[in-house]
């Protein structure tokens, strides 16, 4: 296929056998030649779909001709056949590894089972093939095509998305588009053109005067729609060599506009990598298409590529890092009746979470269970959770995972818990101090790579031998009922029974009650840590923030949501990070601004789940106060200029046209918190242009995060969320940059992005 030619140029009317050639082009565009795996999926086959012990039904599955959508035949009369997009698949898992397959299939069926896991909240698809070989064929084939789809660049993804919409708009499958079909297509791509303008565009492309668009006419129509005027302007300013960019022109652009170091060797490498026209490449020139491909590459977007991998010092003590942390990790939904699931642990761990919570209670048959007690939430086996954690703990990050144990079990079942932890996790579980002698500080994430730390109660201090004749320790607890009512807190003592084997496994994260910062300084060992309910932590972060920061220089602190958040809502984690708190636990199952900000905080440093705190938050004598902001090394006043230029594919859904606007939000110390908003663009989520500029002041850039939010404007009700992207302020790249967008669940929106211009200056 020649450069610039798309599959839309192949829309001429032809025989069925000839149309398969177009599909072949699409398969090649997916990065795949016709191979046995692709042919297998296109042909499809019958599988058994599992939902419960009594619901096991045969369904026919096959890949549709767009090579991006799986089709499932329904056996029900009048029921529409179902499809799902391969873009939405997070993993294809071989074996009986989902809860449904473990519950509703037999052990001997292990080799025939596989599961298709989805991003977001779509239910897992559990399937059984007729043989182990067939199951492997399905898993391997799906893995291959999904991998190829994920490796497409932004331009290819856009073309595929538009091609898919064009195919849907062609309702009678004649490979031609009538004016009503064109209007339907425009609606699909989230563009509500004035009817007269749509007709004018249609007539302009209908050079054959047939009343239909086909072949090259559709290609021309596509090119008019996807023209990027803003890119044309930038390119024209630097394309000084016969209408192309020479290496010298490109270096000039990178130095002046992108504010980055560049040499002629760098320019030659860019041309060699991104220029699609072989003639231009041979002449060492960069065309406009090559320039756009370069701008849309992930390495040139708004996130500093040097911050994508682990770039921070990982040899500091564990408590010198912010740690990505989850609350009630076992829950998929709310705190009262939502399901508990091992899948919730998988999702959290795959998102880089490094501290997971387990509420453990006595179960039947002597097996401890995890669930939210005194509610209607379902129960899962403790041993299944530990097996799941072992399997998925280090797929995203190699750095240590903290198992936060809320232990409500009897001594007998605590012994069972200790057995499962030891037998399943083996030597990966830290059960004695690292190094020689008694430790006086935490080991580093580097030293703890691929290790598990247990957080829980302990019968004695680490440096003291455990008594042989007791399983009992004592703790002070608050009366939560009175606390919720705002009355003065009443304290009472209660006896806690601990199994010695379980107690002995708690080394670096010993749970203790917090009384005061002075008491902690005098009586608390470095490895003893307190958990703070959000209201208590908020008070400390507002009234005693410098004491809180100093406390966290030596100790670990965990913050968790109030019990009144029965819908699993989240607080804003930023004030607690500002106070130096490391384990700021959020409900990972809930899509919200707090989770967006958390994802942004931990997006960098290799998504390791560990972010090194600034030096002034690691100094026991620090004077840093994020509220008063007295002079100190933390004050690095920056002026942040941002221009929101345009957007691409900002679709909310296919049934409504967006009126998009963009918000630029800054999170950080109180002086840095700010928000700016563009006007809204009516009826165009496909390629809106704003060209609006803002200026913001950032005083403590080390702690600041920037969030770009796209919303669908509504003058009657609240705006609808379309997409967002959050990243640390210090990870911004300057110049002309694309901003990828994530959906509410934190998954990438394949083709949606913003185009912005960023400048950061030292304030005078």
Active site amino acids: 327, 372
10 in a known ligand binding site: no
Read off the tokens for 712: 């669908």
657 is in an annotated binding site: yes
Does the annotation list 59 as a binding residue? Answer: yes
Tell me if 309 is assigned to a ligand binding site.
no
Phi/psi at 712 (5° precision): -95, 110
**Which residue in this structure is represented by tokens 């060699």?**
272
Residue 172 labelled as part of a binding site:
no
- DSSP H or E stretch at residue 293: helix 288-295
**386 marked ligand binding residue:** no
Q: Is 492 known as a binding-site position?
A: no
Q: Is 432 annotated as a binding residue?
A: no
The count of residues in the chain is 764
Residues 6+ apart with CB under 8 A from 172: none
Which single residue is written with the structure tokens 């390791």? 608
Would you say 138 is a known binding-site residue?
no
233, with CB counted inside 10 A (0-12, 13-18, 19+), is exposed
Give the C-alpha distances (Å, rounded to integers) separating 151 from 3, 35, 87, 154: 19, 18, 11, 9
Q: Is 531 annotated as a binding residue?
A: yes
Task: Tell me: is residue 51 an annotated ligand-binding position.
Answer: yes
User: Does 57 count as an annotated binding residue?
Assistant: yes
To the question of whether residue 50 is assigned a binding role by annotation, the answer is: yes
Three-state secondary-structure class, residue 728: strand
Judge whether 616 is annotated as a binding position.
Answer: no
Q: Is 102 annotated among the ligand-binding residues?
A: no
Distance CA 410, CA 368 (A): 9
Label residues 255-291 b or e (16+ Cβ within 10 Å = b): eeebeeebeeeebeebbeebbebeebbeebbbbbbbb
Contact 63, 89 (CB under 8 A): no
Q: Does the annotation list 441 as a binding residue?
A: no
Binding residue per annotation — 328? Answer: yes
162 in a known ligand binding site? no
599, 325 contact by CB (below 8 A): no
Q: Is 21 annotated as a binding residue?
A: no
Q: Does 61 appear as a known binding residue? A: yes
Q: Is 72 annotated as a binding residue?
A: yes
Residue 750 CB contacts under 8 Å (≥ 6 apart), including other chains:
87, 157, 161
Q: Give me the helices (H) in 544-638, please.
A: 545-554, 574-578, 593-601
Q: Phi and psi dihedrals of 491, rounded to 5?
A: -105, 145
Is 478 annotated in some ligand binding site?
Answer: no
Residues 6+ apart with CB under 8 A from 596: 707, 724, 726, 742, 746
Q: Tell whether residue 489 is among the known ligand binding residues.
A: no
| HSE of 414, CA atoms in CB hemisphere, 13 A | 22
Q: CA 396 to CA 389: how far, in whole Å?
A: 12
Judge whether 399 is annotated as a binding position. Answer: no
108 annotated to bind ligand: no
In which region does residue 605 sit, left (phi positive, over 0), alpha (psi from -120 to 50) or beta (all else)? left
| Cα gap 569→77, rounded to integer Å | 41
Number of CB atoms found within 10 A of residue 602's CB: 24
CA distance 550 to 154: 46
Task: Specify whether the CB–CB gap between 190 and 685 falls below 8 A.
Answer: yes
643 is in an annotated binding site: no
Q: What is the DSSP string of 334-401?
A: -TTTPPB-HHHHHHHHHTT--EEEEEEE--GGG--EES-TTSS---EEHHHHHHHHHHHTTSS--S-E
The full DSSP string for 435-493 is SSS--SSPPPTTTTTT-EEEEE--SS-TTSPPPSS--EEEEEEE-HHHHHTTPPP-EEE
| Residue 65 among known ligand-binding residues | yes
**565 assigned ligand-binding residue:** no
Check: CB of residue 206 under 8 Å from CB of residue 2. Answer: no
Paired strand residues for 648 = 753
336 is in an annotated binding site: no
406 is in an annotated binding site: yes
Tell me if 714 is assigned to a ligand binding site. Answer: yes
DSSP 602: T
Q: Judge whether 519 is annotated as a binding position.
A: no
What is the spatial distance between Cα 657 and Cα 189, in angstroms, rounded to a whole number?
A: 9
Calpha distance 239→232 (Å, rounded)? 10
User: Would you say 554 is a known binding-site residue?
Assistant: no
494 is annotated as contributing to ligand binding: no
Annotated binding-site residue numbers for Ca(2+)? 328, 357, 359, 406, 657, 659, 683, 712-714
Annotated binding-site residue numbers? 49-76, 328, 357, 359, 406, 455, 457, 531, 558, 657, 659, 683, 712-714
Annotated binding-site residue numbers for substrate? 49-76, 455, 457, 531, 558
């Amino acid at each position: 296929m020649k450069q610039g030619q798309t599959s839309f140029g192949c829309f001429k009317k032809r025989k069925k056998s000839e149309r398969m050639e177009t599909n072949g082009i699409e398969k090649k565009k997916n990065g795949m030649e016709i191979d046995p795996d692709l042919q297998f999926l296109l042909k499809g086959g019958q599988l058994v779909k599992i939902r419960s012990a009594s619901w096991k039904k045969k369904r026919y599955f096959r890949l549709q001709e767009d090579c991006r959508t799986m089709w499932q035949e329904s056996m029900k009369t009048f029921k529409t056949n179902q499809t799902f997009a391969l873009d939405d698949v997070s993993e294809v898992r071989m074996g009986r590894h989902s809860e449904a397959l473990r519950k509703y299939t037999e052990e001997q069926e292990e080799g025939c089972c596989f599961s298709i896991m989805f991003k977001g909240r779509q239910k897992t698809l559990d399937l059984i093939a007729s043989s182990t070989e067939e199951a492997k064929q399905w898993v391997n084939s799906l893995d291959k095509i999904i991998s190829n789809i994920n490796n497409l660049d932004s331009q290819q993804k856009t073309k595929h998305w538009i091609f898919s919409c064009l195919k849907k708009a062609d309702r009678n499958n004649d490979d031609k588009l009538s004016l009503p079909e064109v209007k339907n297509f425009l609606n699909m791509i989230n563009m509500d053109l004035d009817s007269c303008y749509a007709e004018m565009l249609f007539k302009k492309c209908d050079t054959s005067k047939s009343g239909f668009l086909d072949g090259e006419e559709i290609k021309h129509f596509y090119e008019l729609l996807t023209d990027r005027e803003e890119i044309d302007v930038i390119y024209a300013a630097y394309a000084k060599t016969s209408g192309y960019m020479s290496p010298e022109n490109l270096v000039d652009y990178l130095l002046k506009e992108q504010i980055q170091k560049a040499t002629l060797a760098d320019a030659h490498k860019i041309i060699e990598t991104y220029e699609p026209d072989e003639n231009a490449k041979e002449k060492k020139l960069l065309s406009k298409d090559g320039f756009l491909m370069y701008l849309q590459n992930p390495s040139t977007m708004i996130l500093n590529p040097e911050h994508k991998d682990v770039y921070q010092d990982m040899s500091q003590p564990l408590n010198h890092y912010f740690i990505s942390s989850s609350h009630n990790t076992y829950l998929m939904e709310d705190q009262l009746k939502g399901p508990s699931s091992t899948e919730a642990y998988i999702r959290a761990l795959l998102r880089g979470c490094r501290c997971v919570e387990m509420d453990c209670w006595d179960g039947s048959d002597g097996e401890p269970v995890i669930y939210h007690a005194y509610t209607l939430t379902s129960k899962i086996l403790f041993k299944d959770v530990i097996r799941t954690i072992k399997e998925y703990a280090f797929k995203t990050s190699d750095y240590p995972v903290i198992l936060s144990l809320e232990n409500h079990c009897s001594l007998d079942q605590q012994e069972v818990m200790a057995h499962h932890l030891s037998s399943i996790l083996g030597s990966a579980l830290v059960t004695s101090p690292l190094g020689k002698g008694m430790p006086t500080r935490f080991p580093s994430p580097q030293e703890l790579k691929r290790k598990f730390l247990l957080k829980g109660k302990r019968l004695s201090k680490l440096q003291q031998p455990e008594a042989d004749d007791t399983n009992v320790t004592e703790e002070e607890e608050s009366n939560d009922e009175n606390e919720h009512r705002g009355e003065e807190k009443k304290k009472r003592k209660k006896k806690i029974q601990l199994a010695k084997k379980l107690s002995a496994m708690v080394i670096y994260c010993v749970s203790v009650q917090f009384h005061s910062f002075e008491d902690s300084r005098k009586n608390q060992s470095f490895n003893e840590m307190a958990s703070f309910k959000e209201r208590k932590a908020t008070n400390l972060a507002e009234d005693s923030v410098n004491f809180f920061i100093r406390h966290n220089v030596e100790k670990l602190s965990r913050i968790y949501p109030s019990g009144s958040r029965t819908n699993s809502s989240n607080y804003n984690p930023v004030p607690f990070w500002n106070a130096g708190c490391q384990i700021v636990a959020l409900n990972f199952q809930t899509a919200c601004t707090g989770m967006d900000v958390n994802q942004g905080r931990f997006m960098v440093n290799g998504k390791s789940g560990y972010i090194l705190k600034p030096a002034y938050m690691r100094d026991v004598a620090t004077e840093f106060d994020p509220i008063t902001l007295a002079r100190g090394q933390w004050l690095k006043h920056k002026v942040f200029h941002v221009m929101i230029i345009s957007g691409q594919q900002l679709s909310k859904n296919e049934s409504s046209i967006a009126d998009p606007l963009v918000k630029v939000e800054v999170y950080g110390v109180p002086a840095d918190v700010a928000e700016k908003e563009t006007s809204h663009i009516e009826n165009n989520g496909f390629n809106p242009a704003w060209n609006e500029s803002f200026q913001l002041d950032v005083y403590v850039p080390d702690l600041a995060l920037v969030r770009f939010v796209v919303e669908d404007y509504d003058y009657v009700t609240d705006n609808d969320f379309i997409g967002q992207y959050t990243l640390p302020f210090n990870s911004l790249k300057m110049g002309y940059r694309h901003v990828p967008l994530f959906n509410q669940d934190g998954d990438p929106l394949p083709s949606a992005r913003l185009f912005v211009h960023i400048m950061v200056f030292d304030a005078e």
